[in-house]
Amino acid sequence: MTRFLLCFAAALAILWLKVTLGSVGAAYVDPIGRIRAQDEAVYSHTAIRMADAGDWLTPRFMDRFALYKPPLFYWLTAAIVKLGGVSVLTLRLGSMLAAAAMVALLAWRARTLPVSLALLTLAGNEYLARLSGLALTDVLLTALIVLALDLLRQDETLALRRTALAFGVLTGLALLTKGIAGLLPLIALGAHQAIRLFRRQPLAPWSALLMIFGVAIAVAAPWHIYQWIVHPRWFLAEYVGVEILRYGLGAPPQTSTESTALFYAGRFFRLEPALFVLGALALFRAKSNVAWALGLTVVAAVFGYQYRNVSYWLPLIPAFAMAIGEVLDRHPKLAWVAPIAFLSLFTPGGLRRSADPPLAMAAELHAYCAERRANDLYILGTPDEFHATLLPLAGRVRYVFIAPPPEYGSESLDFHALGITRTVEEELSGTPPREDVLAWGLPDRRSLGTVILARDNAEVEHLMAARPSADFFLAKAHRAVRIAGEQAKRACAL
């Protein structure tokens, strides 16, 4: 255990040197597509709300329920915030701790000191460090998957009862982290059994597999059952209808027009060329069923899932690390090749700290927050990536979009019908929503009108004129809609 703790401390130190904190929501999840981590502010807002308000069972965002993700990551982040206060570091520390634990485990399992030290350099991997420095669920999910599969590496036939028990617990925690994506440990277990069958090796007994399944359900089910009982309409509409049916099993809108193969292969080659080459070579030289099972599971998942997101192939990095570590254990004199792959030496980031262009609006919002104004704040678009929702503003934050009311499918949660999304006309005329949010379980109506839809710039101008006591942040592209005179003095424009 002492060696593991030393590996953990070393991995955390490397991550600390590599990660740039910056502003919440500013970093790129996809540095090639230049897609920022907008979800980071959403998850951070939810965690802060938990820590402040104390409702740890039901996540919320902008005064509405936020049941699109289970709560484990929120719990972890909220607990850290509760202990250390609200800061960029405390919001992101959960991801960093998960990454450090995962890397430490891989290094701890190495048979020789040179290989262990080589595997520790995985903490300096450019893309792993990028996601480890963000308050997102991806690193925690990946760490839980690796922890579960490491148990399988030590006991491939699940001969020990405690192996099946621990695997089931970790799978349940994965389900509580990212919903149906938490099934990846079970899918990898199935792939592992298929590989062993192909290689004519003994399989795990059905009793152990059933135990894993049962324990995973026992861990994950209570929160889901609670939400189904206490907030049935919202849970079924958002968690089941939107998160599972629309995004998990359906075809959500894409951020890239590339094919799945070109999207993932192109980004992997550009972001991690050395790791891809050495990892693939190591897989073909490795005897480990687990590394193959994890690698095949990730490839099947990213091609089987409809949505293209570069963070989805994150678990492929530890799969390659497992294979590389196994080969190096047989040839420890070659341990120097691991840092070549892990440290992204052939990419622009290299040994430098991860850094992306700053979120310009963050500084403006911080200055605005320091003024302690009690006015409602309207933000045109999301140039802040929802950063404003994290600040202790006295007034309500609202977002204004120039867009028509969206068409909600039958399986979706209709925010327009609930009045959470309102048109300018509905907002100014006080038109009541078609459905009352109280009937959906919300304790109050503070979520109403948090998103305002305008037909054009003229409607935005009309909204500003009708709300003389409110403050407005306007993106540079829409400077023309600012109203001159006294109203302009009250607006906070970029």
pLDDT for 147-181, tens place per residue? 999 999 999 999 999 999 999 999 999 999 999 99
pLDDT of residue 303: 84
SS3 129: helix
Percent of the chain with pLDDT over 90: 63
pLDDT digits (tens, 9 = 90+) for 458-473: 999 999 999 998 999 8
Picking from 310, 444, 240, the residue whose alpha carbon sits closest to that of residue 36 is: 310
Of 87-101, 209-223, 261-275, 325-339, where does mean pLDDT reach its minimum? 261-275
Alpha carbons 349 and 273: distance in angstroms, whole number: 13
pLDDT at position 120 over 50: yes
Contact 254, 204 (CB under 8 A): no
Amino acid at 464: M
What angle do the packed helices 72-84 and 88-108 form, to 10 degrees?
A: 120
pLDDT digits (tens, 9 = 90+) for 429-455: 999 999 999 999 999 999 999 999 999
Of 34-38, 121-125, 138-142, 156-160, where does mean pLDDT reach its minimum? 34-38
The pLDDT of 6-30, averaged and rounded, is 89
* Range list of H helices, 288-359: 289-304, 316-330, 337-342
pLDDT confidence tier of residue 324, bands split at 50, 70 and 90: very high
pLDDT of residue 475: 66
Higher-pLDDT residue of 377, 271: 377
Quickly count: other Cβ atoms within 10 Å of residue 68's Cβ. 17
Of 170-184, 198-212, 367-381, 408-422, where does mean pLDDT reach its minimum? 408-422
The pLDDT of 108-124, averaged and rounded, is 94
Beta-strand ranges (E) seen in 117-209 are: none
pTM: 0.92
Higher-pLDDT residue of 120, 371: 120
Alpha carbons 269 and 291: distance in angstroms, whole number: 20
pLDDT of residue 113: 93
Contact 26, 385 (CB under 8 A): yes
pLDDT of residue 404: 80
Rounded alpha-carbon distances, angstroms, from residue 39 to 25, 35, 78, 243, 387: 7, 11, 16, 14, 10
Tokens representing residue 289 in the block: 């069923």
pLDDT digits (tens, 9 = 90+) for 129-156: 999 999 999 999 999 999 999 999 999 9
Ranked by mean pLDDT, the top range of 163-167, 367-371, 379-383 is 163-167
Locus of tokens 């990846």: 184
Percent of the chain with pLDDT over 70: 90
Strand partners, 30: 35
- Could you tell me the end-to-end alpha-carbon distance of the chain, in angstroms, rounded to an integer? 53
pLDDT of residue 494: 26
pLDDT digits (tens, 9 = 90+) for 339-363: 988 987 666 555 455 567 888 888 8
pLDDT of residue 248: 62
Q: Could you tell me which residues come within 8 angstroms of residue 486 by beta carbon, excluding any fewer than 6 positions away? A: 468
